[in-house]
Chains A and B, each alone.
Chain A
Amino acid sequence: MGDCHGCPAAIITRPAKARRRIVAIVGPPNSGKSTLFNRLTGLRQKVANFPGVTVEHRMGRARLDGDHEVYLVDLPGVYSLTPRTEDERVTHDVLSGAMKDLPKPDAVLLILDSTNLSRHLVLAAPVLSLGLPTLVILNMADDLGARGGEVDSAELAMQLGSPVALVSAAKGIGIEKVMQFLSGTTQGAPERNGSRKPLMELPVIQDIPKCRAWAARAGSKARYQAPAPPLWTRRLDAVFLHPILGPLIFLLVVIGVFETIFAGAQPIMDAIDDGIQASGAWVASIVSYAPLRSLLVDGVWSGVGSVVKFLPQILILFLFIGILEDSGYLARAALIADRTMARIGLQGKSFIPLLSAYACAVPAIMATRTIENKRDRIATILIAPFMTCSARLPVYTLVIAAFIAPKYQVLALLSLYIIGFLAAIGTAKLLKSTILKSARSSFLLEMPPYRWPTPRSLGLRLVDRAKVFLRRAGTVILAVAIVIWVLGHLPLKNGAPPPIDQSIEAKIGHAVEPAIKPLGFNWKIGIGLISSLAAREVIVGTLGTIYGMEGSSEHSVELQRALRRDLTPGGAAALLVFFAFAMQCMSTIAVVRRETMSWKWPALQFAYMTVFAYAAAFAANHIVLWLA
Chain B
Amino acid sequence: MSFNKKKPAQSLRARPARNLTDLKRGESGILDRLDLPEEDARRLMEMGFLPGHSVTPAHSAPGGDPRVFQVDGSEVALRRETAIRLILR
**Interface positions of A (Cβ within 8 A of B):** 79-80, 82, 84, 115-116, 118-119, 122, 208-209, 212, 226, 229, 237-238, 241, 243-244, 246-247, 331, 335-336, 338-339, 348, 372, 440, 442-447
Q: Is the CB of B59 within 8 A of A237?
A: yes
Q: Which of A80, A118, A229, A243 contacts B72 (CB 8 A)?
A: A118
Does B8 lie at the interface of the complex (its beta carbon under 8 Å from any beta carbon of A)? no
Known: A118-B72, A119-B48, A209-B51. A442 touches B62 (CB 8 A): no
**Interface positions of B (Cβ within 8 A of A):** 1, 4, 39-40, 42-48, 50-52, 58-63, 65-66, 68, 70, 72-79, 81-82
Q: Is the CB of B76 within 8 A of A445?
A: yes
What is the chain A residue whose CB lies nearest that of B53?
A: A212
Q: Is the CB of B46 within 8 A of A122?
A: yes
Q: Is the CB of B50 within 8 A of A445?
A: no
Q: List 28 A-B contacts (CB under 8 A).
A: A79-B46, A82-B42, A116-B73, A119-B48, A119-B74, A209-B45, A212-B45, A212-B50, A229-B70, A237-B68, A241-B61, A243-B62, A331-B77, A335-B68, A338-B66, A338-B79, A440-B79, A440-B81, A442-B78, A442-B82, A443-B79, A443-B82, A444-B43, A444-B77, A444-B78, A445-B66, A446-B76, A446-B77
Q: Is the CB of A80 within 8 A of B60?
A: no
Q: Is the CB of B77 within 8 A of A445?
A: yes
Q: Is the CB of A243 within 8 A of B4?
A: yes
Q: Is the CB of A80 within 8 A of B40?
A: no
Known: A118-B73, A442-B40. A447 touches B46 (CB 8 A): no
Give chain A residues whose Cβ lies under 8 Å from the Cβ of B39: 84
Q: Is the CB of A208 within 8 A of B45?
A: yes
Q: Is the CB of A246 within 8 A of B62?
A: yes
> What's the nearest-Cβ distance from chain B to residue A344, in Å?
15
Q: How far is the CA of A237 from the CA of B76 in the complex (A)?
A: 13
Q: Is the CB of B61 within 8 A of A336?
A: yes
> What's the nearest-Cβ distance from chain A to residue B75, in Å?
4
Q: Is the CB of A226 within 8 A of B73?
A: yes
Q: Is the CB of A80 within 8 A of B74?
A: no
Give chain B residues whose Cβ lies under 8 Å from the Cβ of A336: 61-62
> What's the nearest-Cβ distance from chain B to residue A195, in Å?
30
Q: How far is the CA of A211 from the CA of B43 in the complex (A)?
A: 14
> What's the nearest-Cβ distance from chain B to residue A441, in Å?
9
Q: How far is the CA of A82 from the CA of B45 in the complex (A)?
A: 13
Give chain B residues whose Cβ lies under 8 Å from the Cβ of A82: 42
Known: A237-B58, A241-B61, A339-B63. A116 touches B74 (CB 8 A): yes
Q: Which of A208, A226, A339, A372 contacts B46 (CB 8 A)?
A: A208
Known: A338-B61, A443-B77, A444-B77. A208 touches B47 (CB 8 A): no
Q: How far is the CA of A241 from the CA of B61 in the complex (A)?
A: 6
Q: Is the CB of A238 within 8 A of B59?
A: yes
Known: A237-B59, A338-B66. A80 touches B46 (CB 8 A): yes
Q: How far is the CA of A142 from the CA of B79 in the complex (A)?
A: 33
Give chain A residues whose Cβ lies under 8 Å from the Cβ of B52: 209
Most chain A CB within a 10 A radius of its CB, from B42, B61, B73: B61
Give chain A residues whose Cβ lies under 8 Å from the Cβ of B73: 115-116, 118-119, 226
> What's the nearest-Cβ distance from chain A to residue B30, in Å?
14
- Nearest first, the 8 closest Cβ-Cβ pairs linking A and B are A241-B59, A79-B46, A447-B75, A116-B73, A208-B45, A443-B79, A445-B77, A442-B82
Give chain B residues whose Cβ lies under 8 Å from the Cβ of A115: 73
Q: Is the CB of B79 within 8 A of A442?
A: yes
> What's the nearest-Cβ distance from chain B to residue A27, in Å?
14
Q: Is the CB of A447 within 8 A of B62?
A: no
Q: Which of A79, A119, A246, A335 contacts B66 (CB 8 A)?
A: A335
What is the chain A residue whose CB lies nearest that of B72?
A: A119
Give chain A residues whose Cβ lies under 8 Å from the Cβ of B76: 444-447
Q: Is the CB of B60 within 8 A of A208?
A: no
> What's the nearest-Cβ distance from chain B to residue A79, in Å?
4
**Additional pairs, 10, CB under 8 Å, beyond known A246-B62, A338-B65, A339-B61:** A84-B42, A119-B73, A208-B50, A209-B45, A336-B62, A338-B66, A440-B81, A442-B79, A446-B47, A447-B76
What is the chain B residue whose CB lies nearest that of A30?
A: B74
> What's the nearest-Cβ distance from chain A to residue B67, in Å?
9
Q: Is the CB of A446 within 8 A of B62?
A: no
What is the chain B residue whose CB lies nearest that of A115?
A: B73
> What's the nearest-Cβ distance from chain B to residue A540, in Å?
40
Q: Is the CB of B75 within 8 A of A446?
A: yes
Q: How far is the CA of A241 from the CA of B58 in the complex (A)?
A: 10
What is the chain B residue whose CB lies nearest that of A440?
A: B81
> What's the nearest-Cβ distance from chain B to residue A15, in Å?
43
What is the chain B residue whose CB lies nearest that of A342?
A: B79
Q: How far is the CA of A621 from the CA of B39 in the complex (A)?
A: 52
Q: How far is the CA of A338 from the CA of B62 in the complex (A)?
A: 10
Q: How far is the CA of A162 from the CA of B74 in the complex (A)?
A: 26
What is the chain A residue whose CB lies nearest that of B45?
A: A208
Q: How far is the CA of A331 from the CA of B68 in the complex (A)?
A: 11
Q: How far is the CA of A539 from the CA of B45 in the complex (A)?
A: 51
Give chain B residues whose Cβ lies under 8 Å from the Cβ of A246: 61-62
Q: How far is the CA of A116 from the CA of B73 in the complex (A)?
A: 6
Q: How far is the CA of A79 from the CA of B45 in the complex (A)?
A: 10
Give chain B residues whose Cβ lies under 8 Å from the Cβ of A348: 66, 77
Q: How far is the CA of A10 from the CA of B66 in the complex (A)?
A: 52
Give chain A residues whose Cβ lies under 8 Å from the Cβ of B4: 243
What is the chain B residue whose CB lies nearest that of A227?
A: B73
Most chain A CB within a 10 A radius of its CB, from B39, B70, B74: B74
Give chain B residues whose Cβ lies under 8 Å from the Cβ of A243: 1, 4, 62-63
Q: Is the CB of A208 within 8 A of B77?
A: no
> What's the nearest-Cβ distance from chain B to residue A238, in Å?
7
Q: Is the CB of A443 within 8 A of B66?
A: yes
Give chain B residues whose Cβ lies under 8 Å from the Cβ of A79: 46-47
Q: Is the CB of A241 within 8 A of B81?
A: no
Q: How far is the CA of A336 from the CA of B64 in the complex (A)?
A: 10
Give chain B residues whose Cβ lies under 8 Å from the Cβ of A122: 46
Q: Is the CB of B58 within 8 A of A335?
A: no
Q: How far is the CA of A247 from the CA of B63 in the complex (A)?
A: 11
> What's the nearest-Cβ distance from chain A to residue B72, in Å?
5
Q: How far is the CA of A237 from the CA of B75 in the complex (A)?
A: 11
Give chain B residues whose Cβ lies under 8 Å from the Cβ of A238: 59
